[in-house]
Structure 1
Amino acid sequence: MELQVSNSPFNQEQADLLNRLLPTLSGVQASWLSGYLTALHAQAGAVLPAQPNTDAAAPAPASTAAREITILFGSQTGNCSGLARKLSKKLAEQGGQVTVSSMSDFKPNHLKKIENLLILVSTHGEGDPPDNAISFYEFLHSKRAPRLEGLSYSVLALGDTSYEFFCQTGKDFDKRLEELGGKRLVPRVDCDVDIDEPAGEWITEVLRAFREEGSQSAPSSPSIGATAANETDHEFSRTNPFHAEILENINLNGRGSDRETRHIELSLEGSGLEYEPGDSLGIYPENHPQLVDELIGFMEWNPEEAISINKKGEKMALRDALLRHYEITVLTKPLLALAAGLSSDERLQELVQAGHEQELKAYLEGRDLLDLVQDYQFKGTPAQSFAGILRKLPARLYSIASSSKGYPDEVHVTIRKVQYESYGRDRFGVCSVQLAERLRSGATLPVYIQHNPNFKLPENPETPIIMIGPGTGVAPFRAFLSDREESGAGGKTWLFYGDQHFTTDFLYQTDWQRWLKDGVLTRMDVAFSRDTDKKIYVQHRMLEKKRELYVWLQEGACVYVCGDEKKMAHDVHATLAAILEQEGGLSPEDAAEYLQRMQQEKRYQRDVY
C-alpha cells in the first residue's frame, strides 16, 4: 500500500520520498523511527492521537486492520484454547478482526470462505486428535474438503516426545492444508511438554508475518510475541506457580489393599486461583532422590557443581537441577538422538539410525536416564554437556476432586501411587511417590490451575448426567456432585464406578453413600473386578443397565468419562455404541454418528489419559 496525496496528510513530494524510504527499512529501523517521531512530537508539546496500549516499544500498525483471521483450536486439556485466546488478543491489538473457535464449534462449510487460518492443536494418545478436533479433522481429510488455494495458514502443534507419534495431529493438519492448496504463512512449530518458548516464538513469527504481509512499512515489535505465551505478571499460573500448603494427605485404600491412593487437600488461600468442576491441578514434582544420587554416583559428577539450566544462563547446583528441573525418568527418541552425539558407543549410534525403529521403541519402554548411562559409554561426559540434552521436568496434571463452592480456598486431588520393578530396579512414579512417601501436612507444593473447557457440567442444572469413572477417574465426579449439592441442581445423576475390591478399594465410599441418601446422586452402579470369578468392569454394568441408559440418553443426558484412555475409554465408547444399536435399533454407522453428534453438542465429554 503506497502513500498518496489522497490518502495521507502529505504533499506529493513528501509522499514520493516516504514511498521510496519506507519499503527499505528493517523492522528495527521502523520501530526506532516510530519511537523517535513520538518523542519528537512529545518534546514539541504536540498532542498525539490516542493509541491502543499494545506494547511499550511500538504502537499497533494499521496494516493488520483490514485482515480477517480465524483461529481454530483442538485441545484435550486446555493448553491450546488458552494459547489461542492469548494470540487472539495480540492480533486484535494489531488491529486484526479475529474469530476464535473450538474445532468442534466451527462449521466446516465456512472453511472455503477463510483467507487466514491459524490452527493450534494437541495430539492425544497414540497420534489421535483431541475429542473436540475429531469432526473437523475427519472433514478436512474427507473428499468433502474444498480446495483452499486462497488460504494462508500456519499450525502450532502440541505433543509429548515420549509418545511415538509426536505432534502427529498437527503434522496431519499442516500436510492436509498444503495438499488442498493452502500456503503457509509461517512454518509449523512442534512443541514438547515445555511449550512456552517454542509457542512464544511461533506467535512472534505469526504476528510479524501479518504485519509484513500487510505492509512493508509496518513497524516490527518482536517483544509482542515473546511474551504472548509466557506472560509474566503477578498472577499465579503455569509459569508462575503458587506454593500451596498441604492440609491433608491420607491413604484412601483400606488395610490389605495392594494399592495406595492419596487424597490430597491443598490450601489456595491468598493465591487468587479459581477453578470449576472439570478443571485440573498442575503440580510441579521432584524426582526421587535415590534415582538422582545413583545417577550422580555412577557418572562421578560433583553434586554441588553449578550448571546453567536455560538460555538465560541461570545456574543451579547439579543435584538440585536433577531433583527439580530436569526430567530423568522418561527416555524419548529425540533424547537418544542427542545422547548419541555425546557417546562413542557404536551400539547407540546404530540404535538411533533409520531402520531400527522397533528396537529403539523397545529400548525406550520402561527405562530411565540411569539405564541409558549404564548401558552405553557415558562416563566422563561433563555434567553441563549432559544436562544440555535433557528436557525440563513437566508438571503432572490431576483432575480436581473438589468444588470451590463446597471447599472455598481449597483444592483436592486423588493420586494413586505408582511403583514397580523393571529391568532389575525399583521404579517410582515421580509425583505420586513424592506425595505418598516424602510430603506430609504442612509441606508445600508448586501448583497452578489448568482450566479445561472440554469437561464441564451442563449449563442447565436440570440436565441429567451419567458419570463413568473407575479408579482415580472418579475424582472429577466428586467435584461434580459437590458442586451440584451446593448449587441445588435438580437434574438426575448416575455414577458408574469400579476398582479391584469392595472392602479395600472403594474410594470416597462415604461421600457417595451420603449423596445417595440426600438425593444428590440418583443412582450408582459399581464393579469390583477382583471380587468375582469373572472380572467385571464398568462397561459390563453399563450393558446390564442398557435399557435405562438408553432412556436417559433419549432424555438428553450428558455422558462424562474419566480415566484410562488406552483401554477403559475405548471399551466404554464401544459399549455406548452397542447400547445405541441394541436399544435404539441403530446401525453401527448411525450409532457412531449419534455419538459424534453428542460430542459436538457437548453431551459426551471425556477426560482421559
Structure 2
Amino acid sequence: MTLLSSVIILYGSQTGNAEWIANNINHIAKLRGFKSECFVLDDFEKVCSYSILIGLGDSSYANFCNNAKRIERKLIEFGATNMMETGLADDDLGLELVVDPWVENLFIVLDDLVYYEKEKRVHSGKVILEEYINNGEKMVSEFNNLHVDESNYECIPLPIPKDILKDYPKLTNIAKLPNNLFQVSTTETTSGNSIDKTRVELCSIEAARCLTSANAIKKTINMKLKLETEWEYMPGDCVAIHCPNDSRLVDRIMRRLNLSPDENIKINWSEETETKAVPSHLISCNTIRGLLTNSLDLHSFPKKAFFRSMAEFCSDPEEKNILLFLCSKQDIPVNVLDILAHFESCKPSIQSLIETLTPLQPRLYSISSSPLDSKSSVEFAFNVIENELNVGDKVYTRGGLCTSWLDSMLGCLPYKSIEWTTLLDKDYKLCIKRKPSSFFNPPSDQQTPIIMIGPGTGVTPFIGFLRHKEIQQVDSLTWLFYGCRYENDDYLFRQDIDRFINNKTLIKYDVCFSREQEKSLGHKYVQHRMIHHGKELFQWIEERNATVYVCGDAKNMAKDVNDALIEIAMKFGGMDIKHAIEWLNNLVNQKRYLRDIWA
C-alpha cells in the first residue's frame, strides 16, 4: 500500500473541547514528522479516502455522540474507509478516558498509513516525563511536601522532577477553568449517608472460590451472589457492583482539608446554570463523609479539569504552575490524596471537588452463569488488581478499588479450588444492579455458529454462553480461543471447559500458554492461534455465517485480534488491506463481529 502524503484534521466544536483536541493532535503530528493541517469542518469540502473519527458527547443526553455517528455513516456512504474504531468520549465520565488512549492509538495507525520525516521526529512532553519517571537519578529523592500521619493508607509521592518546567518556559494547551456549577452549603447534623437504594438492590455473597494457584501473577476469584429478587438476564449481561471508597482514604482527605465528616451538605445548581435536577450520584449525599465515601471517585486518576481547578487553590506560585502544566500535558497514575499531599499549598473547597471529580461509578463484571440454571443467583469472575508504581528506589502498590474490597471480605480461600467456599453465614451484603448488554448476547438463532475469543478473564462471559447452550442442549457449532500464562497456575474454568468439550457443547477449542509456548504449538497468544487456523476460521465466518465475539483487554489483545482477522481475510480471502478492513467493518455493521473490551 502506498503511504499517504499528509494528515488532514477536521473538527466541529461548540464548547471549544473538540477544537483544543484537534489543535493538540495537529501539534503532536508535526512533532512526529507528519505533514499536517487543521481545519474547521465548514472550511473543508473534499471527501477523504481514509477516515479516523472521534466524537465528544455527554451520555446524560439521549442522542449521545449522534453527530459523530452520522458523520461516520456519511463517510462510509461516500466511500471512505474507516482505519480505526471510532472513539466516543463521554464528558459525564471524563473525555480523557477515551480521548487519551484514542490519540495514542491514532499515531500507531498513522505511522503505518502516512509518510513522515524521521529526521524531524522529536520527543513529545509525555515521552520526556516518562523518561524522568523511569530514571531514578532524575527523580526527586526527597518529597518534603508529603504529609505523614498515623494512618496506614500510604500516599504515593508524585514522580515529578524538580526541573519539570525547564523545557516548557511557556505553558500551552491549558485546560479551560471549569464553570461554577453548584451552590454548596453545610450545616451541623448527625444524619446518615448511603448510596441511593432506589437505584440498586441488595444481595448476599453466597460463595466464592479462587481459580488460580499461589504462584499466579494475578489472583482470580469466581464469586456467586444470592439475589433478593429473580433476574431476567442473558449470558453476556453484566453485574454492576457499587463499592465505596476506602474509608482510610476518605478519612485522610477529610483531615487534609479540615472537613467535618458529619456536617450536613446541601447541593443546588448555581444561579448562572439553567435549572436542572441534581445529578443522580449526588442525590443521596447527606453528609461530607457520605459524599466522599459513596459519590465521588477518590481512587482513580482525576480528570484534567481537577488539576486546572486545584491550581486556583494554590497559594504557592510554583505549585500552581506545575498543576497547570499537569492539566495541559501529562498523565500520572495517582489519586486525589496523592495530589493534595504533594501540593501542600492547595486548599480546595468541597464545591470544587464536587464539580471536578468524576462520579464513583459501579464496576461492571461479566456474568458467567446462565438464567436457565438459576434466576436467583449470578456468578462472575475478577482479577484482584494490584498496580505498582516505581518512584525512585521504592515500589508502591495500590489495589483496585472494587476487587481489593471484595477480596478483603473473602478471607483465605483455597487456591485453585474446584469446590465453592460457602459465605452466606458471613452475611456480606453488596449493592448491585443488573446491566443488560445491548449487543453482546448469544445469537437469537440458536443454530448460528459462534467463535469466541477471550484470554484471561475475557473468557468469563463465554462460560455463561456455553453453560446456557449446555442446558438448552442445542446442537450447533462453537469455537473458543482462550489463553493464559501458565497451564498449572492461571488456567481459568478448566473443569468447566473440559466438561463442555466432553458433552459436545464446545465443538472446537484452542488454548495458548504465553509463558509455555511449547505446550501450545509454539503459539504465544490467541491471535497467533487464530492465524494458524486462518483458513478454517475464514470458512466459518464466510461460508457458515459465524458470529465472532471478542472479550478482554482493549489496549493490546483486541487490537491484535482485529489485525489477525484482517491478515486472515487478506491471506485466505484474496483481499488487499483496504478490502480486508471493509470486510471487517461489514461484519461489524451486520452485528457479526462483536466486542466487549475494557481498558
Same fold (TM over 0.5): yes
| 1:16-43 superposed Cα distances (whole Å, 9 cap, x missing partner) | xxxxxxxxxxxxxxxxxxxxxxxxxxxx
Q: Tell me which of 564, 567, 592 is aligned to 1:575.
A: 564
Q: Is 1:279 aligned with 2:241?
A: no
Distance in 1, matches of 2:292 and 2:563, equals 43
Question: Which one has a larger percent helix, Structure 1 or Structure 2?
Answer: 1
CA pair 352-472 structure 1, distance change in 2 beyond 3 A: same
Q: Tell me which of 516, 534, 540 is aligned to 1:546.
A: 534
Residue aligned with 2:471, SS? helix
Q: Tell me which of 307, 329, 335 is aligned to 2:306.
A: 335
Aligned residues: percent identity? Answer: 29
CA pair 385-541 structure 1, distance change in 2 beyond 3 A: closer
Q: Is 1:587 aligned with 2:576?
A: yes
Counterpart residue number, 2:474: 489
| 1:357-379 superposed Cα distances (whole Å, 9 cap, x missing partner) | 7x7443x3311101110121356
| 1:99-121 superposed Cα distances (whole Å, 9 cap, x missing partner) | xxxxxxxxxxxxxxxxxxxx323
Letter in 1 for 2:244: E
Q: Is 1:556 aligned with 2:537?
A: no
Q: Which moved more, 1:329-338 or 1:433-442?
A: 433-442
CA pair 338-239 structure 1, distance change in 2 beyond 3 A: farther
Q: Tell me which of 374, 378, 386 is aligned to 1:411.
A: 378
Counterpart residue number, 1:138: 72
Asked if structure 1 preserves the Cα contact closer than 8 Å seen for 2:297 and 2:358, the reply is yes
Asked if structure 2 preserves the Cα contact closer than 8 Å seen for 1:288 and 1:428, the reply is no
Deviation (angstroms), 1:338: 2.1
Letter in 2 for 1:400: I
CA pair 319-287 structure 1, distance change in 2 beyond 3 A: same
| 1:388-412 superposed Cα distances (whole Å, 9 cap, x missing partner) | 5433211111222111112221111
Counterpart residue number, 1:258: 217
Q: Tell me which of 117, 121, 126 is aligned to 2:65.
A: 121
Residue aligned with 2:572, SS? helix
Counterpart residue number, 1:509: 494
Counterpart residue number, 2:409: 438
Letter in 2 for 1:486: I
Asked if structure 2 preserves the Cα contact closer than 8 Å seen for 1:75 and 1:122, the reply is no
Asked if structure 1 preserves the Cα contact closer than 8 Å seen for 2:309 and 2:352, the reply is no
Q: Is 1:294 aligned with 2:279?
A: no
Letter in 1 for 2:499: R
Distance in 1, matches of 2:348 and 2:65, equals 38
Distance in 1, matches of 2:320 and 2:204, equals 46
Residue aligned with 1:502, SS? coil
Asked if structure 1 preserves the Cα contact closer than 8 Å seen for 2:451 and 2:546, the reply is yes
Deviation (angstroms), 1:301: 4.0
Say how many residue pairs are matched. 412
Counterpart residue number, 2:433: 448
CA pair 75-347 structure 1, distance change in 2 beyond 3 A: closer
Q: Is 1:325 aligned with 2:310?
A: no
Deviation (angstroms), 1:159: 5.1
Q: Which moved more, 1:397-406 or 1:554-563?
A: 397-406
Counterpart residue number, 1:242: 201
| 1:299-352 superposed Cα distances (whole Å, 9 cap, x missing partner) | 454444444467668654434432222211221111222222322233454346
Counterpart residue number, 2:344: 377
Q: Tell me which of 216, 227, 250 is aligned to 1:268.
A: 227
Asked if structure 2 preserves the Cα contact closer than 8 Å seen for 1:493 and 1:523, the reply is yes
Distance in 1, matches of 2:499 and 2:560, equals 30
Structure index of larger Rg: 1
Asked if structure 1 preserves the Cα contact closer than 8 Å seen for 2:203 and 2:431, the reply is yes
Residue aligned with 2:378, SS? strand
Distance in 2, matches of 1:289 and 1:426, equals 18
Deviation (angstroms), 1:264: 1.4
Residue aligned with 1:337, SS? helix
Letter in 2 for 1:420: N
Distance in 1, matches of 2:525 and 2:251, equals 41
Distance in 2, matches of 1:319 and 1:485, equals 48
CA pair 500-237 structure 1, distance change in 2 beyond 3 A: farther
Counterpart residue number, 2:18: none
Deviation (angstroms), 1:297: 4.0
Counterpart residue number, 1:460: 445
Counterpart residue number, 1:597: 586
Letter in 2 for 1:409: S
| 1:73-117 superposed Cα distances (whole Å, 9 cap, x missing partner) | x999xx97x975xxxxxxxxxxxxxxxxxxxxxxxxxxxxxxxxx
Distance in 2, matches of 1:492 and 1:158, equals 41
Letter in 1 for 2:215: G
Deviation (angstroms), 1:593: 1.5
Deviation (angstroms), 1:281: 1.5
CA pair 406-299 structure 1, distance change in 2 beyond 3 A: same
Counterpart residue number, 2:273: none
Distance in 1, matches of 2:396 and 2:257, equals 18
Letter in 2 for 1:591: A
Asked if structure 1 preserves the Cα contact closer than 8 Å seen for 2:231 and 2:375, the reply is no
Instruction: Return the TM-score normalized by structure 2.
Output: 0.62
Counterpart residue number, 2:46: none
Distance in 2, matches of 1:143 and 1:550, equals 26
Q: Which runs of 5+ in 2 are unaligned?
A: 1-52, 80-88, 104-180, 183-194, 270-277, 412-422
RMSD: 3.6
Counterpart residue number, 2:188: none
